[in-house]
């Protein structure tokens, strides 16, 4: 109940007020100066809120009663009709400054409207896509990747229905896939994933005996030829520029997130999913829980920078936060990956590069590149990073010129030492014949022949 506040806006439904002697005792005496008034218990005026504000001494105000800032903000967002919902047609309520800027009455209706825009043009194939997304795709892809799969399938079947005039699955042949790829590239899209999404979808259809022909996605013809993804680590100088910009903001949650990305190599979604109980300050380890990209948990160590900002953040972390996630936003909710990414963009987008084009995932590239060039065994790095295959890990590792040069010099020095030691012990057959002529009694027991 420590969140209870009394707002200053007027209302017909006000709590009853009794006169009382001036006193500094009672709730919030440390927050509000004297004099105070006694307020009887009153229900919260927030929409659909059942909390009751307890009786006690509060600052004297013309009152409306809210149990929290959250309820006050919700009530403020329900005062004016600002438009009509594009999904259901009902009136949309909001603040006065949101007139014409709030097209949906709820977030659920916004998502439903966007889904309809994407899936509507797929026509009679929509039930099949929905079935695949709820069964087959859920086994092949992580939760974060399902939305991309849905978009890829929706784009293809929209192309097939509207441009190819396709009516049945049997009408989809490899030539249709080829034309679709050309169509997408002509639009300027360079995604590397949609062909793989289509290939997996048709393999599922064949396994379910829904498609009686060979898969129309032919690897050697339809594979993307953009080359493998290249590692994109930050240089030490660029990373310092980014860090300076974030540090100047004074936002400890962002500084801690960047420190974890730099020292632990976690993805942005994994950072948002960390619970307070997942962090072991004594052994300096973070448990990375599900969901992860490959659906496997792991434990990653951290170092001094994370340890420093972790202590600062835990001291600042709001005790009123009702969830146990390590990071929370201004309204005490856990961050999602997209929300945290939006915070970074809002903070850094006006800065010059490299800060202006900051990408959190590049911290993972930087982490992997630093450890590999520092001498870490690749098998250990693969385990710490949670990669499924060596090929996927190679996309994150860049061999630095300094590493190439130092290892070349070290290896060449060893070769020279070995060559010189071999010259001391080995002679050619010609030299041996001359030695025999000069000294027939020369022993051959310890001589190594060299041709």
Burial of 161 (0-12, 13-18, 19+ CB in 10 A): middle
Lowest mean pLDDT among 53-62, 324-333, 403-412, 441-450: 441-450
Helical axes 304-316 vs 252-264, angle rounded to 10°: 150
Average pLDDT over the chain, rounded to an integer:
81
pLDDT, residue 74, reads 75
CB-CB contact of 317 with 311 (8 Å): no
Residues 303, 282: Cα–Cα separation, whole Å: 11
For residue 230, is it within any domain? no
Of 373, 394, 415, which marks where a domain is finished?
394
**Same-domain status, 150 and 71:** no
Asked if residue 381 and residue 424 are part of one domain, the reply reads: no
Query: Is 388 within a domain?
Result: yes
Query: Residues 180, 141: one domain?
Result: yes
Helices (H), 194-351: 194-207, 219-222, 236-249, 252-264, 268-272, 304-316, 337-348
pLDDT for 108: 85
At residue 413, φ and ψ (nearest 5 deg) are -65, -40
User: Looking at the structure, do residues 200 and 252 belong to the same domain, yes or no?
Assistant: no
Given this model, what pLDDT does residue 372 score?
A: 93
Is residue 425 in a domain?
A: yes
319/339 same-domain check = yes
Token pair for residue 190? Answer: 């360079």
Does the structure show a pLDDT above 50 at 448?
no
The confidence score (pLDDT) of residue 60 equals 65
pLDDT digits (tens, 9 = 90+) for 140-160: 776 667 888 888 999 999 999
94 within some domain: no
Q: Are 365 and 260 in contact (CB under 8 A)?
A: no
- The yes-or-no verdict on residue 445 having pLDDT over 60 is no
Whether 116 and 204 map to the same domain: the answer is: yes
DSSP 331: T
Helix (H) or strand (E) holding 116: helix 107-119
Summarize the confidence of residues 13-28 as an average pLDDT. Answer: 39
- Does this model's pTM top 0.75? My answer is no
Euclidean distance between CA atoms 213 and 342, whole angstroms? 45
47 and 188 co-located in one domain = no
88 domain-assigned: no
User: 386 and 409: one domain?
Assistant: no
For residues 429-443, give the mean pLDDT. Answer: 60
Range of the domain at 52: 5-76
pLDDT value, residue 242: 92
Angle at 256 between CA 250 and CA 262, to 5 degrees: 120
Q: If you average pLDDT over residues 317-322, what whole number do you get?
A: 85
d(CA 139, CA 90): 38
Kindly list the distances between the CA atom of residue 169 and the CA atoms of 155, 174, 195, 197, in Å, as whole numbers in the listed order. 15, 12, 17, 16
Would residue 83 count as lying in a domain?
no
450: phi then psi, degrees, rounded to nearest 5 = -135, 125
Let me know whether 256 and 375 are in one domain.
Answer: yes
What was the pLDDT predicted at 141?
A: 76
pLDDT at position 221: 79
Residue 56 falls inside a structural domain? yes
Tens of pLDDT, residue by residue over 230-243, are 888 999 999 999 99
How many domains does one find in the chain?
Answer: 4
446 and 345, same domain (yes or no):
no
| Among 17, 52, 76, residue at a domain's last position | 76
For residue 50 the two structure tokens come to 């059942």
Of the residues 29, 54, 76, the one at which a domain ends: 76
CA dihedral 81, 86, 90, 94 (to 10 degrees): -30
**pLDDT above 70 (res 196):** yes
Task: Tell whether 246 and 388 lie within a shared domain.
Answer: yes
Whether residue 97 is contained in a domain is answered as no
pLDDT in tens, 391-413: 889 889 999 888 899 888 888 88
Angle between helices 107-119 and 126-134 in degrees, nearest 10: 120
Q: Please choose, from the candidates 47, 59, 41, the residue with its C-alpha nearest in 3D space to the C-alpha of residue 1.
A: 41
DSSP 3-state percent helix, strand, coil across the chain (nearest 5) = 50, 10, 40
User: pLDDT tens digits, residue range 27-53?
Assistant: 444 444 556 777 788 888 877 788 888
Q: At residue 447, does pLDDT exceed 80? A: no
3-state secondary structure of 328: strand
pLDDT score for 227: 56
Bridging pattern class, strands 426-428 and 298-301: unpaired
Q: Residue 373's domain is classified under what CATH number?
A: 1.10.443.10
Judgement on whether residues 294 and 429 belong to the same structural domain of the protein: no
Collapse the DSSP code of 173 into the 3-class scheme (helix H, G, I; strand E, B; otherwise coil) and give the result: coil
Range name among 16-25, 178-187, 310-319, 433-442 with the lowest pLDDT average = 16-25
Which of 12-26, 94-108, 297-311, 312-326: highest mean pLDDT? 297-311
């Amino acid at each position: 109940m420590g969140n209870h506040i009394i707002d200053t806006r007027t209302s017909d439904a006000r709590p009853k007020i009794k006169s009382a002697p001036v006193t500094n005792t009672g709730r919030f005496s440390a927050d509000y100066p004297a004099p105070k008034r006694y307020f009887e218990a009153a229900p919260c005026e927030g929409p659909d809120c059942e909390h009751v504000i307890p009786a006690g001494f509060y600052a004297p105000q013309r009152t409306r009663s809210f149990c929290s800032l959250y309820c006050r903000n919700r009530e403020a967002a329900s005062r004016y009709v600002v438009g009509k919902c594009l999904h259901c047609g009902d009136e949309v309520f909001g603040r006065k400054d949101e007139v014409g800027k709030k097209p949906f009455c709820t977030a659920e209706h916004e998502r439903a409207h966007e889904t309809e825009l994407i899936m509507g043009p797929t026509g009679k194939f929509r039930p099949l896509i929905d079935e695949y997304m709820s069964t087959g795709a859920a086994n092949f892809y992580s939760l974060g990747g399902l939305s991309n799969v849905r978009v890829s399938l929706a784009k293809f079947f929209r192309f097939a229905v509207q441009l190819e005039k396709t009516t049945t699955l049997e009408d989809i042949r490899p030539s249709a896939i080829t034309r679709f790829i050309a169509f997408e590239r002509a639009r300027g899209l360079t995604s590397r994933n949609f062909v793989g999404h289509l290939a997996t979808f048709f393999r599922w259809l064949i396994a379910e005996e829904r498609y009686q022909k060979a898969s129309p996605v032919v690897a050697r013809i339809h594979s993307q030829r953009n080359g493998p993804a290249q590692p994109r680590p930050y240089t030490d100088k660029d990373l310092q520029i980014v860090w300076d910009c974030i540090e100047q903001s004074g936002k400890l949650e962002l500084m801690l997130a960047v420190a974890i990305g730099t020292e632990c190599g976690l993805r942005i979604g994994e950072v948002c999913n960390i619970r307070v109980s997942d962090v072991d300050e004594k052994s300096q380890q973070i448990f990375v829980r599900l969901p992860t990209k490959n659906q496997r948990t792991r434990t990653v160590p951290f170092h001094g920078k994370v340890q420093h900002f972790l202590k600062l953040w835990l001291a600042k972390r709001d005790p009123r936060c009702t969830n146990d996630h390590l990071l929370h936003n201004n309204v005490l909710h856990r961050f999602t990956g997209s929300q945290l990414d939006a915070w970074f963009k809002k903070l850094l987008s006006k800065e010059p590069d490299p800060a202006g084009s900051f990408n959190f995932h590049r911290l993972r590239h930087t982490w992997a590149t630093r450890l590999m060039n520092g001498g870490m065994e690749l098998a250990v790095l693969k385990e710490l990073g949670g990669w499924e295959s060596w090929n996927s890990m190679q996309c994150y590792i860049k061999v630095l010129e300094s590493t190439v040069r130092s290892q070349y010099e070290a290896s060449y020095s060893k070769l020279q030492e070995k060559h010189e030691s071999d010259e001391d012990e080995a002679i050619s057959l010609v030299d041996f014949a001359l030695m025999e002529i000069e000294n027939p009694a020369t022993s051959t027991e310890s001589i190594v022949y060299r041709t």
